[in-house]
Structure 1
Amino acid sequence: MIVDDSAVIRGFLSRWLEAEKEIEVVAIASNGVMALREFERARPELVILDIEMPEMDGLTALPRLVKLDPDVQIIMASTLTRRNADVSLKALSMGAADYIAKPESTRVVDEKEIFQRGLVEKIKALGATRRTRDRAAGKVAARPALKPVQTERKPRVVIGAKAPIVLRPFKTIPSPKVIAIGASTGGPQALFKLFEALKGKTTLPVFITQHMPGTFTAILAEHLNKIYDKDCMEAKDGEKVLDNRVYVAPGDWHMTVVNEGAVPVIRLNQEPPENYCRPSVDPMLRSLQAVFGAHVLTVILTGMGHDGLDGCRKLAESGAVVIGQDEETSVVWGMPGAVASAGLCNKVLPLQDITGAIENVIMGRPA
């Protein structure tokens, strides 16, 4: 279901999505009041929900939609402003699954194509997650939100691979000098819970790459700063790596660490996106492995795609500890699923158990 007060946006979203053989638009609404009425009639599995609308805005409609169907997947859509970034992060804590920043203009080809590709990928990933959980719970969907497709194309990314997970055994447990965290879809919610539990547990520097545009990463750092007991900030090019700091990769910049003399220093760059992402988790992990070797404790949280797989492979080869979030507590089990399925994880754990595993590794115990 598409919910947006702009007829233009409703129109091009509907055309884009109906052009996808696997997606069906079952309802369209121009505000929250209409959305609630249409939701009860159409029972969509996923909703694209605008934030700013007359009569009833998206933030007001969100909990009411979730009350009607606790399993509904909701993507918040907003223009890229500081206020909307803040509202979008608040919406994630209220039950939204993800967010997407609207392009400033649909006439700019690159912006439009990036937005369209990102939205379609999010819908397919969240739709697959919803239906997997429905099947596991013995639920039968009212209609196929993802239409059957007659095609021989193989999916580019496997979401929630079902092959048995083989854990990489602990040989020795290197004392970590830094913690690295990679996340995408569902990441902000997971980060808030993780850092709330991590308070007082470590003084190690923490590096976070979360797939987000620039305005959003600044707000994310501010939210983490309110939750955690250490300084959380967007990373700045050239700053020294210090204990008791959390560094968030700024939107549209890869965050890496290099040794300058004997001092680890943060370097930001705008080299091409990796895995369609900038910031990307892989450049961060590769750089940390080059500087700290096996002394990097890595956590891969919920997210679609496979960003982080290459970096985790290099870290695993060096003997570093890698922890992945499990499928049940992930919004989308793409990134952690890719790393786990490749046999790179020492542990695959529910989100609520990851803090304890981090503490164990820091203390030299198996996670």
Structure 2
Amino acid sequence: MALARPSSDTVTHHDVRVMVIDDSVVTRVIVARIIDAMAGHAVVAAVGGIGAALAVLARERIDVILLDLNLPGIDGLSGLPTLAALAPQAAILVLSATCDDGSAAALHARSLGAVATIAKPASSAMVGRFAERLQTAVVDAVQSPGPAARDAWDVIAIGASTGGIHALAPLLAAIPAECDVPMLLTQHLPASFTGYFAGQLARLARRPVDVGADSLRIRRGRMVLAPGDAHLRVVATTDGAAIRLDRTPAASGCLPSVDPMFESVARVYGARALVVVLSGMGRDGCRGAAQVKAHGGAVAAQERQSSVVWGMPGAVVEAGLATTIGTPEQLGAFIARGRRPA
């Protein structure tokens, strides 16, 4: 049942219009009171599920959506992309008991477009510090600038192993052709399969794919694939960056290994790097991801349910290195939005 709210006639054009989505009537009432106590803010709808929220968005302008994840029918994470698509101007804040800072749920929500996540206490504790934190988050969400016009990253490096080929197709399909950020890919494959795989990738990625070679320039609008018998390393040049092949044994024992690629990307691109860890056995990529994060870059990992083997992405998540978690489709959409995780 939806909570009765003031009609649109009683809310001024300049008010920040808020919708609360939570299956608990008590929580909806308390959160609405917290928001209504803010000058210039008004809760215009408080509903118990995604379906009712979509009906509100079809007829109302909403500036901020406060979304619970534990909802009947369509859960919050599943419904979040639809809410974002229907109300692209709205800032979505997730309020959930499972959204502690750095939790998998919080990272997943951010990868789907949430601007902030707040751990929701029991209804009896929704006063004091929680109320202040919620009010601050709403103000920050409204005042924060939109995504920058320029790309958030100067390079996207992807590492994958078992199950990675299946994950690459939906990830690349979600990235529009006009996204011309250079891409690097290390996929554990035998050298004899590299040329054929490069041809497949070119069709999936809708961009030329080069098999890595010494001194190959890293160029916009192209992808570089690690050969099956060498690691990809990136070196800075006077006018950009280039590939250097390396056959030194890696700590992971893999050839090619994801770690050398990530480590070199961190050194050359720093905070302008995004690395993505897809399905794969073992821990390859974890050491390199740590270097990327230490240099201020972003680390994305495939979530467990969609992974054939959650070894490589799981190691990154469990080490607390992932800034974004999602299915391949969701990670592709995250790249397409070009927005760095907060």
Change (3 A) 1:167 1:262: farther
1:336 is the counterpart of 2:317 = no
- Which one of the candidate residues 274, 279, 290 is aligned to 2:267? 290
Residues 71-150 of structure 1 mapped to structure 2, 5 A cutoff: none
CA distance, structure 1, for counterparts of residue 209 and residue 245 of structure 2: 17
Q: Compute the displacement of 1:366 (Å).
A: 3.6
Find the counterpart in structure 1 of residue 328 from structure 2.
Answer: 351
- Which one of the candidate residues 210, 213, 216 is aligned to 2:193? 216
Contact 2:186 2:225 in 1 (8 A): yes
CA distance, structure 2, for counterparts of residue 314 and residue 178 of structure 1: 15
Change (3 A) 1:292 1:336: same
1:241 is the counterpart of 2:218 = yes
- Which one of the candidate residues 202, 227, 250 is aligned to 2:204? 227
Q: AA paired with 2:274?
A: L
Q: What TM-score does the superposition give when structure 2 sets the normalisation length? A: 0.55
Q: Compute the displacement of 1:308 (Å).
A: 0.5
Find the counterpart in structure 1 of residue 252 from structure 2.
Answer: 275
1:301 is the counterpart of 2:248 = no
Residues 158-237 of structure 1 mapped to structure 2, 5 A cutoff: 165=104, 175-237=152-214
Larger gyration radius, structure 1 or structure 2: 2
Q: AA paired with 1:202?
A: C
Secondary structure at 2:336 match in 1: helix
- Which one of the candidate residues 224, 227, 233 is aligned to 1:250? 227
**Which sections of structure 2, spanning at least 5 residues, go unmatched?**
1-102, 117-143
Q: What is the aligned-residue RMSD (CA, Å)? A: 2.5
- Which one of the candidate residues 302, 313, 321 is aligned to 2:298? 321
Find the counterpart in structure 2 of residue 101 from structure 1.
Answer: none
Q: Compute the displacement of 1:218 (Å).
A: 1.8
Q: Compute the displacement of 1:273 (Å).
A: 3.4
Change (3 A) 1:312 1:292: same
Contact 1:222 1:233 in 2 (8 A): no
Q: Compute the displacement of 1:165 (Å).
A: 4.1
Contact 1:166 1:341 in 2 (8 A): no
**Which sections of structure 1, spanning at least 5 residues, go unmatched?**
1-163
Find the counterpart in structure 2 of residue 266 from structure 1.
Answer: 243
Contact 1:167 1:340 in 2 (8 A): no
Change (3 A) 1:356 1:201: farther
Contact 1:239 1:265 in 2 (8 A): yes
Tell me the alpha carbon deviations over residues 147-171 of structure 1, each in whole angstroms, 9 at most, x when there is no partner: xxxxxxxxxxxxxxxxx64867999
Identity of aligned residues (%): 38
Find the counterpart in structure 1 of residue 135 from structure 2.
Answer: none
Q: What TM-score does the superposition give when structure 1 sets the normalisation length? A: 0.52
Q: AA paired with 1:190?
A: A
Count of residues in correspondence between the two structures: 203
